[in-house]
A and B are shown apart, each in its own frame.
Chain A
């Protein structure tokens, strides 16, 4: 594990962008190089990634009403669209 605290802080500062694949290729390489040598940051990143996956999974679990398409078609038709 690296003892370079600044590097850990800089890495965690890029956590959100890294998980969203919004970093430049050069920044991504820097972050991953740090994660290869820093168990603490790696665990933080894994934790945050798992939290985001859980949130997506749960929030997207929304039952869709039956015949949504049919009702829309009826409304479009009734309004002459």
Chain B
């Protein structure tokens, strides 16, 4: 995995956290042993997130390792009582943007997904006659799709929507925590996440059509753009 170094490594630390010099240890800092334990506990969820971001096993492992190295280097900027997960994920996502070149063959354009709305899958399912009054809501289109097909739909979203949606689905993070990780206002997270989910529903329907899980939609707005 290629790694582009940033001119100022302070960017690795979460915004708002001053980067302290090693000789200005604050009482809020955790010990190296505590830090290591926190880091080890985060490795598996971080790998799952990295895999969904990169779409590649080796890139995901490289990303986690580089993020862990960077986290260790800047461990003195992590303060006890704050969210280690948000702090570490921010380093990981920053490194993903700066150091990883994803292997992406397809990314759907924003315009192609701009008509996705709140209840896209529900409306399509109803139009296709897949919803009955006594139907089990969990026996829907997504539950009949494989993990790889769902991941493929997520991977095609435009970057700004895909990253927010990936953080949302891969961990139980609040909008505020996602905002802290990405360094954007909570309103931006809300709008990107909502739009991203609606876009994802449209992509899922397209893939379900390709797989023959649902009947092909005649309406061109749900077909290939």
| Dominant secondary structure at the A interface | helix
Interface residues of A in 1-49 (CB under 8 A from B): 12-13, 15-17, 20, 22, 43-44, 46-49
| Dominant secondary structure at the B interface | helix
- Determine whether the beta carbon of B119 is less than 8 Å from that of A48: yes
Query: Which residues of B have CB within 8 Å of A13?
Result: 118
Chain A residues within 8 Å of B, Cβ to Cβ: 12-13, 15-17, 20, 22, 43-44, 46-56, 58-62, 64-65, 68-69, 71-72, 75-76, 79, 81
- Determine whether the beta carbon of B65 is less than 8 Å from that of A72: yes
Chain B residue nearest to A53 in the complex (CB) = B138
Residue from B40, B154, B197 with most neighbouring chain A CB atoms (10 Å): B197
Query: Which residues of A have CB within 8 Å of B61?
Result: 65, 68, 71
Q: How large is the interface on B (under 10, 10 to 19, 20 to 34, 35 or more residues)?
A: 35 or more
- Determine whether the beta carbon of A60 is less than 8 Å from that of B142: no
- Determine whether the beta carbon of A47 is less than 8 Å from that of B137: yes
- Determine whether the beta carbon of B43 is less than 8 Å from that of A58: no
Query: Which residues of B have CB within 8 Å of A65?
Result: 47, 57, 61
- Determine whether the beta carbon of A47 is less than 8 Å from that of B154: no
Query: Which residues of A have CB within 8 Å of B151?
Result: 58-59
- Determine whether the beta carbon of A64 is less than 8 Å from that of B68: no
**A-B residue pairs in contact (CB < 8 Å), sample of 28:** A12-B118, A15-B119, A43-B137, A47-B119, A47-B125, A47-B131, A47-B140, A50-B140, A54-B142, A54-B143, A55-B169, A58-B142, A58-B147, A58-B151, A59-B150, A59-B170, A62-B48, A62-B52, A64-B44, A65-B47, A65-B57, A68-B43, A68-B44, A72-B40, A72-B64, A76-B72, A81-B69, A81-B72
